[in-house]
Amino acid sequence: MQTENSTRIRLSILTLAIGSVLGIVGLTLRGPVPLPNLGVDTWAQAVTGSNYFLAQILTICAYILPYFGFWALYAYLARIEQVEKIAFWGFMGSIIGTSLALATLGIFSFVSPLIAQRYLQGDNYLPEIITLVATGQPAMINLLGGTIYLIGTGLLGLAIWRSGILPKWTGLLVGLHGLFLVFGFMLFPLLFLSWIFLLCAGIWIFFAIEN
């Protein structure tokens, strides 16, 4: 029974790496996308490109798949009493933070191309909606989600560092992933690096977990 449980945990940890690969592929297909107010023509061309829809689907999956990996990290770390509480709140923060951002991600994924098509047909007002979603009142949800995610991944990284049962540096990679992901929405290279950090952490932890 213990072996079966460890196998499920190890397989769930793999979702950190798989999700990261999807995120990297999605970003590679899509490239950087500015907000309309920073370059409306560049934005319109980017979100109506042939690869944009697939890239956004991969990105959504990249955010959702690690749910299972974050759960597995908590389940594995929970055996160490000194870090169980930290790992729990890290797990919760990672899940809640991601979930709060999914609504806006959905708008960028499915609404932006429609608005961009209307813009290219001559409607110059609609792109402002996307800017308002990113910088107006709806952005408060994204800010809250990003803050919670940053805290969550930071706590998970701290729990890994203190646990003594996983390589310490994987905890740093998890924490850096959260930091770079949150601030990567303003700087594309940081967003790319965030998934590389989580990919390395996921693979390293997968091989470090005992059967």
Hey, where are the domains in the chain? 2-208
Q: Tokens 């023509």 identify what position?
A: 41
Residue 139 CB-density burial (10 A; 0-12 exposed, 13-18 middle, 19+ buried): middle
- Write out the two tokens for 55: 């890239």
Tell me what pLDDT residue 166 has.
94
CB neighbour burial string for 101-125, b if at least 16 within 10 angstroms, e if fewer? beebbebbbeebbebbeebeeeeee
Identity of the amino acid at 185: F
Tell me what pLDDT residue 113 has.
78
Tell me what pLDDT residue 206 has.
94
Tell me what pLDDT residue 110 has.
74
Identity of the amino acid at 170: T
pLDDT in tens, 86-123: 999 999 999 999 988 887 777 777 777 777 777 777 76
pLDDT in tens, 4-17: 577 889 899 999 99
pLDDT < 70: residue spans in the chain: 1-4, 123-127, 129, 131-139, 211
Which residue pairs from 76-80 have beta carbons closer than 8 angstroms and sit at least 24 positions apart in sequence? 76/9, 76/13, 76/165, 76/166, 76/209, 77/159, 77/160, 77/163, 77/165, 77/166, 79/165, 80/163, 80/164, 80/165
Tell me what pLDDT residue 180 has.
95
CB 101 within 8 A of CB 152: no
CB 34 within 8 A of CB 127: no
Tell me which residue of 133, 110, 108, 130 sits closest to 119, measured CA to CA.
Answer: 130
